[in-house]
């Protein structure tokens, strides 16, 4: 059977027991549960009871974006929400081994050369489906004087990449 995670590609305000999350994603195979973030922390929330449980705290205490869960490997993928061109890393957390890792330091150097916009991966969204990580990035043009646009051929364009992972889910052999 296929399992999949659902990621919302926009900021969602979710209040639950005084917890305001910036990203929410459904927890695979767990009806009534969602994952959300708050300044570097990832929570599982029981939507039926409104109770939240801290899953982990990211190594850097900044806003998290692009949650995607792979329950077969026990990994939550994420990136930081900083809207800067230098924000290019994608991270993982293995909740079975309680281990954080860097999936890739610079997503634009992954096989297939994915394109990133002015916000790096800070405006990205992610979902996990059928053994693949799907990762979307916004390629918005700059509206600031003196800041170059990414190109006339891709104004306000977004890109969605299918990311092939290795068997362990900790490296990227291909994107398309």
> pLDDT (tens digit, 9 = 90+) per residue, 36-57?
888 888 888 888 888 888 999 9
What average pLDDT does the structure give for the chain?
A: 75
Contact between 3 and 71 under an 8 Å Cβ cutoff? The reply is yes
CA dist., res. 109 & res. 111, Å (int): 6
119: which DSSP letter?
T
Q: What are the tens digits of pLDDT across the range 65-120?
A: 888 989 889 999 999 888 788 888 999 999 899 999 999 999 888 888 887 877 78
Exposed/middle/buried for 33, CB within 10 Å: 0-12, 13-18, 19+?
middle
pTM of the predicted model, to two decimals?
0.75
Q: Who's near 146: CB < 8 A, 6+ residues apart?
A: none
List 64's β-bridge partners, or say none. 80
Q: How many residues does the chain have?
A: 176
The residue with tokens 């990449």 is 161
Percent of the chain predicted with pLDDT > 70: 72
CA dist., res. 42 & res. 2, Å (int): 24
Among 107-116, 131-140, 150-159, whose mean pLDDT is lowest? 150-159
- Per-residue model confidence (pLDDT) at position 156: 55
- Per-residue model confidence (pLDDT) at position 17: 36
Contact between 96 and 65 under an 8 Å Cβ cutoff? The reply is no
Number of Cβ within a 10 Å radius of residue 164: 17
Compute the average pLDDT of residues 7-14: 34
């Amino acid at each position: 059977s296929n399992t999949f995670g659902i990621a919302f590609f926009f900021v969602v305000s979710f209040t639950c027991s005084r917890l305001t999350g910036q990203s929410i994603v459904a927890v695979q195979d767990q009806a009534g549960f969602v994952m959300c973030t708050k300044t570097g922390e990832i929570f599982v929330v029981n939507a039926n009871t409104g109770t939240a449980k801290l899953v982990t705290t990211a190594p850097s205490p900044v806003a998290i974006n692009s949650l995607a869960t792979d329950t077969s490997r026990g990994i939550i993928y994420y990136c930081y929400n900083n809207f800067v061109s230098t924000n290019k890393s994608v991270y993982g957390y293995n909740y079975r081994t309680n281990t954080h890792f860097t999936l890739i330091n610079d997503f634009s150097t992954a096989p297939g050369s994915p394109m990133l916009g002015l916000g790096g991966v800070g405006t990205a969204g992610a979902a996990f489906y059928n053994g693949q990580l799907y990762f979307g990035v916004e390629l918005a043009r700059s509206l600031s004087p003196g800041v170059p646009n990414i190109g006339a051929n891709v104004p306000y364009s977004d890109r969605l990449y299918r990311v092939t992972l290795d068997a362990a889910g900790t490296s990227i052999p291909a994107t398309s």
